[in-house]
């Protein structure tokens, strides 16, 4: 089976190379100045370039990890994740998108840990589940949990996005002129709209959908929705 996957990878790259026009990399081959950095959940169903329809190199910087966490832990202290910080520090990027998604496995695992139904994970995974655990524990106090598990998890996904945005806004490493937006990518139709839409649940700290809606361009108002108040 692995040989078939290897062949698929090579075939995919061949198609990629053959579909690029001449000069495709010319503008970015020496340096990059991405307009935005998107910290997203490491999930095969969530394509960062795909969800924002990015079809060229150099526009979007795309780190990801388990649970779209904006931090890392160094010497016992939370610091801005270096993969996210790099374009802010070195390429002039001034827009951050924090992107969670419905049905997030990391949030689900942290939810199970917080409700006593968890199981052990390899240490490299457990690190990220553990750092997400305190967020979910606080979220269980803040969101309405009188619902089925899938609904509660999706509310916690929003809560996690809000916490990541707040962390970045408060971090000394992030300059004041950087804007931070929080999105939830809807795989499941949880927001009663088309699947694949990224809902703007946090507009640089503003979480009231009416206020977010008022700040958007005409025609974009449908993107300002939340599952939690």
Contact present, 63 and 149 (Cβ < 8 Å): no
- Residue 163: what pLDDT? 98
- Residue 115: what pLDDT? 86
- Residue 154: what pLDDT? 98
- Residue 213: what pLDDT? 97
Nearest to 106 by CA among 162, 31, 155, 42: 42
The per-residue pLDDT for range 202-221, each reduced to its tens digit, is 999 999 999 999 999 999 99
- Residue 130: what pLDDT? 93
Which one-letter DSSP state was computed for residue 222? G
Phi-psi group of 67: left, alpha or beta (phi > 0 → left; psi -120 to 50 → alpha; rest → beta):
left
Q: Splitting the chain (229 residues) into consecutive groups of 10 residues, what average pLDDT does each group show?
A: 93 96 95 98 95 96 98 95 98 98 97 84 92 95 95 98 98 98 98 97 98 97 94
Cβ-in-10-Å burial (0-12, 13-18, 19+) of 86 comes to middle
- Residue 47: what pLDDT? 94
Tell me the pTM.
Answer: 0.96
36-41/77-80 β-pairing:
unpaired
- Residue 151: what pLDDT? 97
- Residue 3: what pLDDT? 94
The per-residue pLDDT for range 98-127, each reduced to its tens digit, is 999 999 999 999 999 888 876 788 999 999
The per-residue pLDDT for range 39-53, each reduced to its tens digit, is 999 999 999 999 999
């Amino acid at each position: 089976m692995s040989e078939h996957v290897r062949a698929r990878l090579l075939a995919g790259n061949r198609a990629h190379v053959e579909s690029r026009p001449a000069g495709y990399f010319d503008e970015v081959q020496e340096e990059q100045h991405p307009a935005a950095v998107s910290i997203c959940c490491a999930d095969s169903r969530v394509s960062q370039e795909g969800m924002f329809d990015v079809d060229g190199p150099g526009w979007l910087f795309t780190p990801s990890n388990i649970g779209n966490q904006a931090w890392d832990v160094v010497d016992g202290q939370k610091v801005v994740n270096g993969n996210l910080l790099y374009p802010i520090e070195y390429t002039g990027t001034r827009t951050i998108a924090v992107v969670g998604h419905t049905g997030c496995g990391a949030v689900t695992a942290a939810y199970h840990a917080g409700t006593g139904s968890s199981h052990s994970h390899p240490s490299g995974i457990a690190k990220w589940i553990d750092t997400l655990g305190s967020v979910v524990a606080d979220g269980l106090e803040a969101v309405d949990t009188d619902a089925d598990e899938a609904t509660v998890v999706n509310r916690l996904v929003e809560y996690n996005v809000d916490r990541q945005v707040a962390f970045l806004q408060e971090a000394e490493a992030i300059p004041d002129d950087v804007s931070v937006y929080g999105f939830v990518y809807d795989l499941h139709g949880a927001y009663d709209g088309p699947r694949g839409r990224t809902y703007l649940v946090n507009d640089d700290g503003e979480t009231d959908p009416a206020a977010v809606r008022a700040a958007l361009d005409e025609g974009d108002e449908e993107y300002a929705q939340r599952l939690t108040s």
